Amino acid sequence: MSDCLFCKIVAKEIPAEIVYETGRTLAFRDVNPQAPTHVLIIPKQHHATAAALADVDDGLADEVLKAAHSVAVLEHVADSGYRVVFNTGLGAGQTVFHVHAHVLGGRDLTWPPG
Ligand code: 5GP
Ligand code: ZN
């Protein structure tokens, strides 16, 4: 998708601080971090939302979740605890319509979220 911000990050047309990469996923730091660790994990293939990703039957959603956990380990938040969030749809606060998992950690995280 030529007008998609995260596709442009995959294509290296926009810079990002990449922290982890697999054949089909990419993880990079959020430009506006909400916690000491705030990394976004995306499939390199464009899917708009988590709902669309859930409809893909080739294991891609699994890979995104596994990549999220790998990032948590690399960022040393796996033991202390971390949160994986897919804002899905406008009402949930999704602003970039290329599915991404937020991995947040490194501080106490309150519940329920706002
Ligand atoms: P959403 O609101 O869709 O769940 O999350 C989008 C996230 O993308 C936000 O946390 C926002 O800070 C982040 N973001 C927006 N533009 C950029 C960018 O150009 N680079 C990076 N690294 N993060 C971005
Ligand atoms: Zn995209």
Q: What is the pLDDT of residues 11-65, one digit of tens each?
A: 999 999 999 999 999 999 999 999 999 999 999 999 999 999 999 999 999 999 9
Q: State whether the beta carbon of 30 lies less than 6 angstroms from ligand 1.
A: yes
d(CA 44, CA 78): 24
* CA proximity to 28, closest of 71, 62, 78, 63: 71
Q: What is the pTM of this model?
A: 0.98
Q: Looking at residue 2, what is its pLDDT?
A: 78
Q: State whether the beta carbon of 82 lies less than 6 angstroms from ligand 1.
A: no
Q: What is the pLDDT of residues 58-101, one digit of tens each?
A: 999 999 999 999 999 999 999 999 999 999 999 999 999 999 99
How would residue 10 be classed by pLDDT, with cut points 50, 70 and 90?
A: very high
Mutate to test the pocket of ligand 1, among 14, 40, 88 (most ligand atoms within 8 A of CB): 40
d(CA 110, CA 114): 9
* Contact call for residues 78 and 69 (beta carbons, < 8 A): yes
Q: Looking at residue 114, what is its pLDDT?
A: 77
Q: State whether the beta carbon of 95 lies less than 6 angstroms from ligand 1.
A: yes
Q: Active-site residue numbers?
A: 100
Give, rounded to a whole angstrom, the gap between the first and last alpha carbons of the chain: 31
Cα angle 100, 4, 101; round to 5: 5
